[in-house]
Each structure stands twice: as structure tokens, then as C-alpha cells.
Structure 1
Amino acid sequence: LKQAEAIAAWQRLGATFGSDANAETSPTHTAYKLDIPNINQAKLSESFKLLSGMIREPVLNDANVAAERPIVLAEKRERGGAGLRIADLTRQTFFAGQRLAARNPIGTDETLRAANGKDVKAFYDRWYRPENAVIVVVGDADPMVLAGLVEQWFGDWEGKGKPGVAPDFGDPVAPAAAPENPVEGTPIGELAVGVEPDLPRSLTYAIMRPWRQVEDTIVYNEGLLIDAVAQSIINRRLEARARGGGSFLYAQVQQDDVSRSTDATFVTFAPLTSDWQAALADVRSVIADALTNPPTQEEIDREAAEFDVVFANQVEQESVQSGSDLANNLVNAVDIRETVAAPDVVLNVFRGMTARLNPDEVLARTKALFDGTVTRSVYVTPTPGEADADMLRLALAREAVVDGSARLAAQTISFDELPPVGEPGIITEQKPLGLLDVEQIDFANGVKALVWANDAEPGRVTVRVRFGAGYRAFDKDSAVYAALGEAALVGSGLGELGQNEIDRLATGRKLGFDFGIDEAVFTFTAQTRSEDVVDQLYLFAAKLGMPRWDKDPVIRAKAAAELAY
């Protein structure tokens, strides 16, 4: 291909740049992505030919580099602003002393302006080589044909010159004589406070551990699943604390392996006010309880039931999973040096480890999640003088009160125990709509139902209820409250049930509850499955027939709006 002909070539094949054709570069990999619609053998062969030519024989000269430079510089400028400044501060703080702290994949203005064809080609030849390449092909084609195309267009590819030596990404190391974080028991290392008037308050602290490549066995993955259950238990308690009038809007615990640089547990929350120390103490008290006392078996079973529903539903939807998702999963697995399993394998592994989901083992894995070599933290605030690194260090060094009040009550709720919404409706007419196989059912109370049964999306049922007048229902005095109502309506619950009770009710089911306000209608929407569609319809009907009003979700919605303002 000659210069500027690549885009036209892909467009002839039906691909659109940005949606069907794209490339991304992270600190650890570059991925070229191509999604060809309406594929046939001719398009498939041509795609392999073009892609292999771009990767094996790219034209990297001064003219091409000069043509791309202003595009990359413009992209870099567009990423700027408060968000980028905080992202850079966060990266430099959490990865202090490691390569990732100083290496942003897009580069710097100085390196971009100094780039020339010779240096870019030398870099490409060093790193973009067959021994570093993985080719993933997913789609409606014979696997032997795909393998033959890979061999035809990439089988004789040889690297040029001397290959690069994989860099050492370094380990997170605590500074000498660092004070100890008494909750997690790790030294307190680098800390930073970022002041950005345009951003809401948020505080993240991380317990950092060195990243090491693992033996990706079933036993290892069982451990990851126990970690996931342990994190879900803590996150549910944090959410219960936030809903019940806590000092933070939200809080979350999440383990993550970052760019082969760290295996870390991140704790992130948004203080409701400038008293971020109180919010930090509140969050740490919930975590301190999780590290001191084992969870109840009921808590474990509840989270396990939630995971089981997700994994079982993924098996049901396996036949309609998009090829691009499958390809991305494989690329990500290669990037972190682990494997990817089919949905039925994941489900079988999870169901086969039931005995390991017990209080003692979950407590042990929870403690491991909060064990590390160093604690680091970044606090973002819109207000100058509200915090500094010394204040943050002092707050993290304080003892945390072990508070188990956020643990959920040992109380199960069943749909069978709930009152009927009303008398069963009377069908007055049932007829085909005349479009596809959609059927219209009219009820005596004026409700109309459109039902379309099809097998195009196994394991998935969409339920949508449209009612009322939407924004037209508000006058000039009440319109200002529409956004608060949209955010708080579902959280207010229904009948005698608040949001926490509805969550318990939904255990082991795939239920949703989204509320939206449009120009002329209010809408409830949910993604469920055939086994749970009756319960899903009950939730929507009960919300309309037995509405519940709770001030706490309104207060929380108001706080969220103020923080984001």
C-alpha cells in the first residue's frame, strides 16, 4: 500500500476506522484490532494480506513520521487537563521507583518532536517481532482455514536485527523508616494530594505487592475466585454503610495486576464533605472488621450465589458472545501471562470448589489481599489547603476501630413472602402486531403488553415498562428535582422493602432495575433471564403499585450531585 491508502483499503472491505479497525498501545503491548463485517473467503484473505504487510513491512521514514507527529501531539493535547494531571500524579505516586512511574505510552512533547524515521524504525525492529507477536482470529470460519492463513501470511516472518531485552518493571518498595499502616500492617510509603477545582473529592490508597508470573492452574483460579468473593463481601458492607448515612458517597475494594508492575489491592472512596479523615476512618473500620473477624457462612453463600448466576448466564449466552469480545479476552490473557477459560469451564471450577468457600478460608484470603510491601495513597480535592501528604500519612497511621455494624443481618427474603400487587389482570384482546412475531396483549385496566419470544439471544430477556409523561410531568417549580428523583427512585425501595432488602431478595437471580426519564415517558428497564422474568415483572409492578419513599437515597443523590458540580 502507498501512503494514505490503508484507510481506503479497509473501507473497501467494510471496516470503519475507530469502530471496526483500531490500535492501542499500553505499557506492555500494542494490539492491532480489525473487525470485518459480512466476511467471506475473499475478504478474509485480503484482510490477512493487508494486515501482514502493515505489521511485517511498515513504511517508517521521516515523511511518514512527520505526517503522524501532529496527529499524536493533538491526541496528547486532547487528553490534557485536570483528569490527565491527576492520572499522572496517581501513576507517579503509586509506582514510585518503578519504570511505570515515568513512562507514559504516548510519550512526551520532547520525544515526539525529536522522533525521526530512522529511530522509529530501529525501535520497531527491536520490539515488533515474530517472537513477541500473538495472532488471534475469531469468527465464522473453518479453524483449519484460519490456521492456514496465519501460516501463509506470517509463517515466514523473521525479525530484523538484534531483539530488545524485556525490561525489568521493578517492584514496589517502601521508603526507609516508613511508618506502619496499623490496619493492613504495611509500611506507609509515597503519598500525594492533588488539588483540582473541577474534580470531586476522591481518595485511593493501595496495598502494593510485587507482581510475579503465576502458574495458571485450577487451584490458582480457585484462589482468585475466593478473593473475588471476599472483595464482594467487603464491598457490600461498604455499600450498606454508604446507604445508611455513612460519611462517604461510595467505596470499593478491588485487587488488580497492573502492567506487570504490581499486584495491588486498591481502596477507593468519595468523601461526602471536606472531612475526609472521618470518611477514611469509616472505610477502614469496615475493612478492619473484615481482617479481624471471619464472615458468616450466609454472607459467603449470598455472594457465591451471585457469582453462580453470572457464570451460568455466561454459559447460556456463549453462543452469541461477540467475536471481538473473545479476541479481547485472549489478548488480555496473553498480556498478563495467564490463560482464558470457556464459560462452562469457569462455572464447573466454581461449582467444584464449594467446600473452600467457608469462613476460615475467606478470612485467610482477605488477610492476604491486604498484606503487602508498602501502602501508597492519593487524595484529590477541589479545595486548596484541605490536606497535604503529612496529614494523609497521619490519618493512615491511626488505629482503626473494628466496626461490624455494616455486616448484613442474617435474614433471607423470598418472593413467596411478599404480598400480591393486586388482582390478576383480565385480558381483553390478544393479537399479532404484524411485525416479526411480536404479539400485543391488551388488559382491561388499559395496560398494553408487547411480547416477542425468540431464541436469538439465549439466556437474556429484556423487560421495559413505559409509563407516565416523563419530563412533561414536571412544572417549572418541580423540574429542578427531576435529576434527584431519577437517581433516588429505585434506591427508595418498594412496599416494606428498602434497597438492602431488595438486594437480598435478588440473591441467586439475574434481576435489574434501571429508571430513566425521557421527554414524554418514564421507563423501567432490566436485563434478566427466562427463569427470573416473573420475579422481574413483580419488582416493576410492585414499585408502581406499592411505592416506597425513603429520604436516605435522596440525600445521597443530592450529595452526589453536589460533589460532581
Structure 2
Amino acid sequence: MIKRILPVALVISATLAMGQTTPKPKSTTGKTAAKPTASASPVNLSQAIPTDPSVKVGKLPNGLTYYIRKNAEPRNRAELRLVVKAGSVLETDEQQGLAHFMEHMEFNGTKNFPKNELVNVLQSSGIRFGADLNAYTSFDETVYQLPVPTDSQRVFRQAFQILEDWAHNATIDPAEVEKERGVVLEERRLGRGAGQRMRDKYFPVLLNDSRYANRLPIGTEQVLTTFKPETLRQFYKDWYRPSLMAVIAVGDFDIKQVEGIIREKFGRIPEPANPKPRTEYTIPGNKDTKVAIVTDTEQPNTIVQVIYKREGVKDKTLNDLREGVKRGLFNTMLGNRIQELTQQADPPFLGGYSNYSDFLGNLDAFTSIAVAKEGNVEKAIRAVLNENARVKQFGFTPTELERAKQEFLTNVEQAYSERTKTRSASFVEEYVRNFTDKEPYTSIDFYYNFLKKEMPGVKLTEVNELVDQFIHNDNRAVIVMAPEKDKDKLPTVEQIIGYIDDAGKGLTAYEDKTLDAPLLAKQPTPAPIVDTKQIKDIGVTEWTLKNGVKVVVKPTDFKNDQILFSGTSFGGTSLYDLNDYTSARFASTVTAMGGTGAYNQVQLGKFLAGKQVSVFPYISELNEGVSGSTAPKDLETALQLLYSYFTQPRKDADVVKGFLSNQRSALQNQINTPTPARVFQDTVQVTLGANNPRRQPLQPADLDKIDLDKSLKIYQERFANAGDFTFFFVGNVDEAKLKPLVEKYLGGLPSTGKDEKFRDLGIRIPSGQISKTVYKGVDPKATVQLVYSGDLNWSPENTTQLDALAEVLEIKLIEQLREQESGVYGVNASASYSKNPVPRYTFRISFGCGPENVDKLIAKTQELIANLKSKGADPADIAKFKAETRRETELQLKDNQFWLGYLQNQFVNGDAPDEVLREDQQLNKVTVDSTKASANKYLGANYAKFVLLPEKKVEAGK
């Protein structure tokens, strides 16, 4: 797997994640050096950042480093990593792509696990290939990931043998190399497209022709097709050596035992007598502004990125830690301002952000990005750059800083309160970064206490001054990506530089508009709980309130600071005729955009700053409801917000106008330059939806059908009757404290006494045989999707059999299509099913491949299905399915999110709430004969085949 091959800013698309993240509770976010800042705190900021004492760190005589930490979340599990400080930048010209190829070969034969035995062994222990067992290669490192159970000493010790084999016992069998060559070429094929073609053009400009510019981890087709096994062996010999390796183990185990195993197994790996020097490559700076304007026939929108690069400094001292806090505050405040620009009647862009973070190699960067609306590059980038300039000219406001501090501290407080519940996977990533990038790691206890002391002393002037460090004229790069059809409309290099240099003229100071008013204009009239039921075997209480509202509560101790909740009832858009469908479809979206009560959307966000509260109303086809999360201390605020969304919907015509304007522009871009994937998925959706109007792709003209007043009316209708709602609360819930809040805020909701149902619209996947081929795209790659469907006799036994069928078939598809045919990088088989509007199942098989292999691989797939129908599944594959399912369920039963979704599904479907406790009974019914019967039952006559192929080239003269 390829990971982190691009700076984060460069993988952006038309859909932007606009939220700004607060730095994680570790030593740093970003890496700016600065002089110590005066503080009222007695903390000596010149001191080194203390490492977390809970981590046992050591180095073996051969140079291998290890990190060990005992952590009991989840119980009986451990996260293991082998980190090799060797990636694609170390490749010679003849080795381009072989760092990543070596990663693949580690799963294709080692001294103690020949060929694919390693995968088989782990799957038999309940570890899924891909989902659990995985690895990634980047420019500078290769990391192998192995989550394992610790309640089996045999499996646990075996896992360390696997790590050791990866470190120095790969066999690199020439026959296996030839088989894997096709798999890696298929992975490379999957990465082809507009993004790759444009990246190949702008990377040398952005990265200043450095080593990083021509060492993408996927490599070159020429090398991958022709390299000799000896060339791969040389890379393994040169760079897989103890001094460049770390073993990381975090989990529910005995530290001394693990340290002994590591010393035993890894201490015997010899360090080469004359190791090849490990060069630390850098990206040189540039005094001028580098500009790359690239276009492509399959690029749907215009994206502008302005990147201010600067030397990154490794954090070492407490002052560095404090500087990271300042950068986090800066990012949060600027991000909030830019997000507000999208909440205007005429937003200047489809999306945008400015953010300081690490970049690549030795660099950090302050990056501003805008997705242009109607291709208007100037308007989009000026809008983002003007917000940067506004900070430069006027700074942030005291109220903005106070809210940002509240948000920052709240996030760290939450991490602190969960310190005994933190999952092992969260820790291992910190130690990986420490080994690869020298990023220090400290304990959440230290960080939280440090923050409490230092945060009050962070002055507004300090944060405002950061903009001068971030924005500068040297070492600057501008990347413009646009549709090929708009090539002649794009600004010149000189014009683009002019936009940047002229930013900030005629600006006025930002006005921080807040509202000081109660969230609820009128307090609700409570209704008491009139009935209580206990479902003791799963620890659930069910309340019925006088107004008809039902509440299902499951207190857990899985998280200290988390309560998840939802509420749902039948109805949804199904109750509205086609003329009102679009207004109904967008009703919850456009209504929530108005805010609630006296608060508009921006003011509501400011009101909730520093609170752990999230509430979202929704209207789907068959249901309406709310979903949310909160901390115990903010539970009442969350319920007030929920009550407000039910009873105080708010209309904001300007915000909705801006939203719809942006949506029209984005949809028009997709129509003007439809991507192959979009055209293919639209075809699948329309075909499986029987060409029903409600299954058509959204068009710009559809948005014109949205009547805001009609949408608001529909929203009010859907939430006018809480009496047929069921609410679910899972997490650190104190029932005694929850009860009066439920009676007040849920008991106070309006109720009509009616019990609404959804309307069955009769939309079904067409029966019989369907075949559709889509010709779109210029790259020589194909996508295949095979779909089986039909009616389902709803029962836990049948859904378990469907899941088993999907898993055993996927195992065989991977073995045949990937390992034997070398025809795919990945293949997926999955079953989905639902009880409403009528019980139905859908079974999908999907993969990407070369166009020339489509028919062959479909035929191989059908052979495997025919074999399942005649013989049933391999008993070993059934055992793998059972082991994986049991291991997964062990984790799910300790997860709040699982229980929330599970309980809602069980109650909505009218199924037994305690069915999960009988999973073993259902798994025991999965046999060779049952998989044979299931294959014949579910992989039958209702079969749809969809294939995406490149556009046909018209020969000259025809």
C-alpha cells in the first residue's frame, strides 16, 4: 500500500473538509522555531520535552530500537509495528518502485512462512488481510502493521516471528516476484487518472526538482515491468538492517516478556559490517515564486493552491510545545473565518482553507487553497488570500482567541479524561513518528497540565505575529489545476502572482458577531416516564414517556467522556410526492443551515465553542431523526439543542441561497467534465434503481425545484410528532442524572398521538439478467461490478449466512484473481441487507483490472461461484470467517458506536435486542453445506454486470 505520497494539501478535491483540527495531545503540531516567550507561569520553557515514562524504549547491540507500552484497551489485543527507515527516496534509478514492491514481497514468502502461508496463519487467528494485517510505503519509511490477540501465547509469539521474518528473512522467490509484478502494476494502474497526470507535471515545480519529485513510491512502469529479482534483493540487503529499524509493541501484555521476545528474536539479526550511508534528502528552497498551471481532460474543477514553504524544525523544548499551541489557535481562528465565507448569499468559492502544518521532507508549509466557482480563479484565491491579509493587517479579536482556547483545551481535556481508555493504535503512531521524524512524545498527563499553565499566558499579539512568519515572498509555490476545456480562460503566471501580491487592498477589520441569548426561548413542559423495562442480559433500560416517546439507555464504561445518542421514527421523504421530493430531500439540510431558535449557523457555532456537543437532524427516504454526541458535563446542552431543532427551526434565505449556488456550480462542473468513476457509478445507481426518478443523479435544474418555505414546512411536519420517536443513549450515562433531563427535554417534545409509517415506493433492483458497459476515460483501466439481488427471508441465521458467503468468496477471489492470475490489486465481495421497506439483499463483487483481462477475470469469478454452488466453501475458509467474526465482535461489544447502531437497528426492525449474544449459535450453523445452499440461493438469476472501459478510439477514416 502507498501512503503519504503527497502533501495533504495536494490531494484536495471539490469536496473540502472545512473543519480545522486542534493539535493532538502530544508534543507538537507543526515545527516552527521561535525565541522563548515570556510567561506568567514558572515553567522553564528551555527544558526538553519530557518523554512519556510509560514507554519502555531500548536499543539492541545491533542498533535496532524498540518501544514497548502496556495498554489494556482493547483487552487481550496488541498493536505491533515493524518500522523500516527506508522508502522510495533511497532507490537507485534502476530500483524505482522497489521499496514498495519489497513491502508486497514480505507477504509472499519468508523463511518460516513460505509463499502465502503468513496470510493463512493470521486469518485463521481472526486477523483480516488488508483490514488488520497491512503495510505502507512512503518516501522515507516502510511500516508493517500487525494487530494481534494476546490471549493466545502461540499466536502472540508467532506474531513476533513474523516481524522478525519481515526484518531479514524474506525469501524473494523469483516465481513469486513474477506473480506479484502483475499485482503491483495493477495497483499502479488504479492510481492513474487526472490527478496522477497533473501531479507528474507540477511535482517537479513544487518540490524544486528535488529527489522527492522523481521518487514517487509507486515507481515507474518501466522498472516494475523489467527489474530482475537481484535488483530487489539488493534494496532489501542495503536498507533492511537493524540500525534502520524499530519494533513497536503496545497492548495488553507483560512488558518484560515482550522485551525478552524482542531481544531474543531481533538481537540475532546482524548489522552489516560496512552499511551503505543512509542519505537524508531535502527539498531546496527557491527565492522566486514557482508557478505550475496544469490542465486535464478529466479534471472537473479548478483548484488553486498557494504554498509558503519553510524549513521545518524538530520540536525539542517546552517552548516548541508552546509554539505548537499558538499555531493550533491560529489555524482554528483562520479556519473559522474562511468557513464563514461559504455562508453568504454569493460565496466566493466552492470551498477553501488556510492552514499551517508539516509538508514533506525537511519542510513545513502554510497553505491556502480555493476551489474556484465557475472557474473564477481570481475571485476564489483573492477571497482566501484576503482573509490571510486581514489577519496580517488587523489581527484576530480577543473573543476569537478566547473561543479558540476553549476549543483547544476542551479537546485536550477530553483526551486527558480518556487516558485510561485510549486504544493502543493511537499510541503506536506516536512512536512511529518519533523513530522516523524524531517527533517527541509526551504523556497526556504532562501535556494537559502544561496546557493549563501555559494557555492563559498565550497573548493575542503572539498569535497575530505568526502571520508574518507564515506568509513570505520567497520559497513560494502556486499550483493551478483546471479542466482542459478551460485552458484558454486561465490567468497567466504573471496575473496569478499579481493576485497574490495585491491581496489585502481595501479591507476592513473582521467583526466577531456573537449572540448572548438563551438557546431556548421557552422552557419545555416536562412529561414523566410512565413505563420502565429492563433488558438485563445486555444492560439496557427502556423508558416510555407520557407523550409517547421511547428512550433506550445503555450505560457503558468504554469511554469516560463520551455519550452517543440518536432518535428515529418512520416516515421520511417517502411520504411526499415527486413534485415535492427535492424540497423534502434537502429539508433537513437547508433548515439546519439556518441555525436554530435565535441563533444563526455562525452564531450557534460560536455559542457551542468549548462544549463537546454535536447534534444533527436528518430526513432520509424511510426515516427522520437526529444523531449526536456529547460529554457527560454537556449532556443538558446537547438535549437543549436537540429540543431546539425539533421546536425552533430557523430559516436563513441568504445562507441557503449561497449553499445552492455552490451546489449548482459543483454539479455543473461534474456535468461539463464528468469523471469516468462518476459516469460509471451514475449508471449503476440508475440501473439498479430501475430508472426511478428518485434514483437519478442530482442535476443543477433539480436544485431550482427546492422551495425553502416548502422545505421548512416538510421539516416541521417530520419533527412535529415526537410521540413515534425512539431515542437511544449509549456511553458514560448516569441514569439517575439522565432521567430528569429526558423527562424535561424529550418529554417536553410535541406529540400528536399518531404512529406514522413510511410508504413503500416500490423501488427494487430489476429482476433477471442485466449487462451494462460504460466507455469513459482515457486510461487503460477497467472497473467491474457484479451485483446479485433478491427478496430475503429476514432472520439472523440468513443474514449470518450471507455474511459468511461474502467472506469465503472474497478469500477465494483474492487467492485466484490476485495471487494466481496477478490480475487485480484488490477485490471485494460484500453482502448488504435491509428489512425495510421489504426484506431484500444485495450481493456485490467489485474489482479493477486491465481492460484486456475483464472477460477472463469475470469468467474466473463465475467459476468460483459455480464451485461454491456445487461443493460449498472450503472448511478452512469457513474457519477463517468464524475466527475473524468472533474477534471483531469481541471488540465491537466494547464500543459505544457499535451499540448505538446495533440497538437502533434492532428496535427499528422489531428484532430481539439481545440477538448479539446468540452470535455463536448462528456461526455454528455456517457449514460447508450451508454455504453451498446459500450460494445457490443468493447468487442466482437476478444478476447485473457493470463494466467501465476506456473510451473507444475511432480509427482514421471512419
TM-score using structure 2 length: 0.55
Partner of 2:344: 244
Conserved in 1, the CA contact under 8 Å of 2:149 and 2:155? no
Equivalent position of 1:21 in the other structure: 133
1:271 correspondence with 2:372: yes
Further displaced range: 484-493 or 525-534: 484-493
Could you give the per-residue CA deviations for residues 65-116 of structure 1, whole angstroms, max 9, x where no partner exists?
2121110000010111123334444533321222111110110101111222
Corresponding residue of 1:111: 223
How far, CA to CA, are the matches of 1:258 and 1:197 in structure 2? 27
> 1:314–1:343: 8 Å Cα contact kept in structure 2?
yes
Change (3 A) 1:418 1:99: same
Match of 1:241, as an amino acid? L
- Does residue 202 of structure 1 match 2:303? yes
Q: CA deviation at 1:151?
A: 0.8
What aligned pairs does 1:19-418 form with structure 2 within 5 A after superposition?
Answer: 19-37=131-149, 39-160=151-272, 162-174=274-286, 178=288, 188-212=289-313, 214-245=314-345, 246-371=347-472, 373-382=474-483, 383-390=486-493, 391-401=495-505, 403-404=507-508, 406-409=510-513, 411=514, 413=516, 415=518, 418=520
Structure 1 CA distance for aligned equivalents of residues 537 and 600 of structure 2: 40
Give, in whole Å, the separation in 1 of the partners of 2:154 and 2:377: 61
Taking a change above 3 Å as real, the CA distance of residues 451 and 516 of structure 1, as seen in their structure-2 partners, is same
Asked whether the equivalents of residues 543 and 550 of structure 2 are also in contact (C-alpha less than 8 Å), the reply is yes
With over 3 angstroms needed to count, the CA separation of the structure-2 counterparts of 1:90 and 1:555, relative to structure 1, is: farther
> Which protein shows a greater Rg?
2
Task: Tell me the secondary structure at the aligned position of residue 145 of structure 2.
Answer: strand
Shift of residue 412, structure 1, vs aligned partner: 5.6
Q: Give the Å deviation of 1:389.
A: 4.5
Cα 1:335/1:488, change in 2 over 3 Å: farther
CA contact (8 A) 2:301 2:375 kept: no
Q: CA RMSD in A?
A: 2.3
Of 462, 465, 477, the residue aligned with 2:567 is: 465
SS at match of 2:251: coil
Which amino acid in structure 2 is aligned with residue 125 of structure 1? K
Check conservation: 2:309, 2:476, Cα contact below 8 A: yes
Separation in 2, partners of 1:91, 1:487: 38
Is the Cα–Cα contact under 8 Å of residues 277 and 395 in structure 1 kept in the other structure? yes
State the one-letter code of the partner of 2:455. T
State the distance in 2 between where 1:448 and 1:332 align: 47
With over 3 angstroms needed to count, the CA separation of the structure-2 counterparts of 1:164 and 1:4, relative to structure 1, is same
Of residues 96-105 and 195-204 in structure 1, the stretch that sits farther from structure 2 once superposed is: 195-204
215 and 480 in structure 1: CA distance in 2 versus 1, 3 angstrom threshold? closer
Conserved? CA contact 1:193–1:389, under 8 Å: no
Paired with 2:378 and 2:159, the residues of 1 have a C-alpha distance of 56
SS in 1 for 2:614: coil
Deviations 1:175-203 (A, max 9, x none): 5xx4xxxxxxxxx2233233454433322
Aligned residue identity for 2:626 = F
Q: Is the 8 A contact 1:459 1:530 kept in 2?
A: yes
Q: Tell me the equivalent position of 1:185.
A: none
Measure the CA separation in 2 of the matches of 1:67 and 1:447.
60
Query: Tell me, what secondary structure is at the counterpart of 2:578?
Result: coil
Q: Distance in 2 between matches of 1:267 and 1:483?
A: 33
Structure 2 gaps of 5+ residues are 1-112, 671-958
Bigger drift between 528-537 and 295-304 goes to 295-304
Q: Is the 8 A contact 2:592 2:649 kept in 1?
A: no
- Map of 2:549 onto structure 1: 447
* Partners of 2:503 and 2:353 in 1: CA distance: 20
Aligned to 1:502: 604
TM-score, scaled relative to structure 1: 0.91
Unaligned runs of 5+ in 1: 179-187
Q: Any conservation in 2 of the 1:440–1:451 contact (CA below 8 Å)?
A: yes
